[in-house]
Amino acid sequence: MRIFSRLLLVVSTLAMVSGCAGSGDSGNWGWYVISPATGQGITNIKFLLGGLKDTIILSLASIVLAMVLGFLITLPGIAANRTARAINVTYVELVRAIPLLVLILWVYYGLPQVAGISIGIFLASVLALGISDSAFQAEIFRAGIQSIHKGQIEAADALGLRYSQKMRLIILPQAIKVILPPLGNQFVYILKMSSLASVIGMQELTRRANELVVTEYRPLEIYTFLILEYLVLILIVSAGVRWLERKMQTDEH
């Protein structure tokens, strides 16, 4: 019911925008550039929506990379060895201290010089977003794993299970219930932060909006449409995460 109310709010906003497009105050407002009632508006809307695919693919690839790196960095963080824990802390603190925009620029412009390789815009964006978010993912995984009662781990040790078996059969299935909500938040974070990839030419939603602003000179109207695009995307993701949470609670009962 709540998601329906939010989507209703989005529809109402779009209706308001369309209403402005038909108003007589055309000297101050230029909603016609994104109005579905005009040929120019339809062309511009198609151009703006064309970045939707790149935004989604970029976000999905980045969150997968972040989860893999985050889990790998978590393992030394939950180890008994002090040196291993120091590696975890150093990585997390170092990566979290680097602004994402700076990391994107460094990966795209600096990494090819350091490593002597050629790197594309998409790969640079995925690497930067994935590495940046992996530090947060590592903390999420660590908190979820450490929330499991020690008795569960001791029981697994008593059964003679290997480390990989303990993680796969006992710890992770229980930890995922704790991890899922913050993972959903991080996916929303990645969706929003993917807009920074526009600075290196990634043709996602924000880049396309910037290009249209240059040709149409209507930043208010175009960026308003951009906000609505991100709003709908994030509402859909949030609804999906809540559905998964309810599904897991139902299965548990």
Three-state SS at 218: coil
pLDDT at 21 over 60: no
Q: How do the domains of the chain map onto residue ranges?
A: 1-19+29-49+221-253, 53-202
User: What's the confidence (pLDDT) of residue 196?
Assistant: 95
User: Exposed, middle or buried by CB within 10 Å (0-12, 13-18, 19+), for 176?
Assistant: middle
Residues 218-234 pLDDT 10s = 899 999 999 999 999 99
**What is the arithmetic mean of pLDDT over 2-20?**
49
pLDDT of residue 124: 96
With 0-12 / 13-18 / 19 or more C-beta atoms within 10 angstroms meaning exposed / middle / buried, residue 246 is: exposed
Name the nearest CA neighbour of 38 among 207, 216, 205, 203. 216
Structure token digits, residue 238: 């949030």
pLDDT of 4 over the 50 cut: no
Cα 154 to chain centroid distance, Å, stands at: 36
The 10s digit of each residue's pLDDT in 141-173 is: 988 888 877 777 777 777 777 777 777 777 777
Lowest-pLDDT range of 42-46, 57-61, 75-79, 93-97: 75-79
* b/e map 53-62, b = 16+ CB within 10 Å: ebbbebbebb
CA 166 to chain centre: 30
Is this structure's pTM higher than 0.75?
Answer: yes
Using CA atoms, how far apart are residues 92 and 182, in angstroms rounded to an integer?
17
CATH class of 53-202: mainly alpha
In this model, does residue 76 exceed pLDDT 70?
A: yes
Distances (CA, A) of 242 to 55, 141, 186: 22, 19, 14
Label residue 181 by pLDDT band (50, 70, 90). confident
Q: How far apart are CA 120 and CA 130, in angstroms?
A: 15
Nearest partner of 29 among 230, 216, 229, 228, judged by Cα: 216
**Cα–Cα distance measured from residue 102 to residue 77, given in angstroms and rounded to the nearest whole number:** 26
Neighbouring residues of 129: CB distance < 8 A, sequence distance ≥ 6: 58, 59, 62, 65, 66, 100, 104, 190, 193, 194, 197
- Half-sphere exposure of residue 201: CA atoms within 13 angstroms, side-chain side: 7
At 25 the pLDDT is 47
